A and B are shown apart, each in its own frame.
Chain A
């Protein structure tokens, strides 16, 4: 049981380049999330998904796109990278049942630098 995995672990991009971050979970969770972590700002939600084929915007969605074609995978795309997107990106997943709130399980993170 690997939990939540993220690939790649590190990446350096030039301004304007594109890339996709992959998140995979093997816990059969319905909900998945993408966050960015910046010093002094905690974690901010970029996009999330409440099920296969559905996505929604979070707090800081601009410049990012996501897709959830399979229940176990959640992809985060940067179409044209900017230096402001230099950050550590975390994926998370959680169980769901009605209105009960469940904890989120986090991946190890992807450190992205845009030059």
Chain B
């Protein structure tokens, strides 16, 4: 079984500051990990995904995440926050089930990022 924990339901940073959103996962098999972003009143949009290739994954809008197996973490970072980054961010985990993959995702509870001018 898989699970995801996002530390910090609300994170506030100043424009230009480093963004760090934390995600820890639990999985009995090698996981696939995803970060999604949700802007107000919109659906979820994929930021980046880890699929067991490179441990440092680059995504859209300057975001990246590093898979650390020893820490069971997949934290999302961006060197310099923009006002347009204000949104809710969700970490999700998935893994193949016996007999195939259903692509089911287990989502964290989300982190709302506020960017102060």
Pairwise interchain contact A94-B103, C-beta atoms closer than 8 A: yes
List residues of chain B with CB within 8 A of the CB of A33: 104
With A and B bound together, what is the CA distance between A33 and B105 in angstroms?
A: 10
13 contacts between A and B (CB under 8 A): A40-B9, A42-B109, A42-B110, A43-B44, A45-B104, A45-B105, A48-B104, A58-B104, A92-B44, A100-B96, A101-B101, A106-B45, A107-B43
With A and B bound together, what is the CA distance between A4 and B45 in angstroms?
A: 12
B71 to chain A, nearest CB (A): 21
Contact residue among B34, B43, B96, B101 (Cβ-Cβ distance under 8 Å from A103): B34
List residues of chain A with CB within 8 A of the CB of B46: 103-105
Pairwise interchain contact B109-A101, C-beta atoms closer than 8 A: no
B23 to chain A, nearest CB (A): 12
For chain A, residues 39 to 57, give those with C-beta under 8 angstroms from any C-beta of chain B.
40-45, 48, 50, 56
In this complex, how many residues of chain B approach chain A with their Cβ under 8 Å: the count is: 26
With A and B bound together, what is the CA distance between A38 and B43 in angstroms?
A: 13
- What 7 A-B pairs have minimum CB-CB distances, sorted nearest first? A106-B43, A99-B96, A101-B32, A42-B107, A42-B109, A106-B44, A43-B107
List residues of chain B with CB within 8 A of the CB of A34: none
**CB of B42 closer than 8 Å to a CB of A:** yes
Chain A residue at minimal CB-CB distance from B44: A106
List residues of chain A with CB within 8 A of the CB of B90: 42-43
* Majority SS at the chain B contact face: loop
B31 to chain A, nearest CB (A): 9
**CB of A83 closer than 8 Å to a CB of B:** no
Contact residue among A40, A90, A99, A105 (Cβ-Cβ distance under 8 Å from B101): A99
**CB of A16 closer than 8 Å to a CB of B:** no
Pairwise interchain contact B94-A101, C-beta atoms closer than 8 A: yes
List residues of chain B with CB within 8 A of the CB of A98: 100-101
List residues of chain B with CB within 8 A of the CB of A92: 44
List residues of chain B with CB within 8 A of the CB of A31: 102-103
**CB of A7 closer than 8 Å to a CB of B:** no
B50 to chain A, nearest CB (A): 10
Chain A residue at minimal CB-CB distance from B94: A101
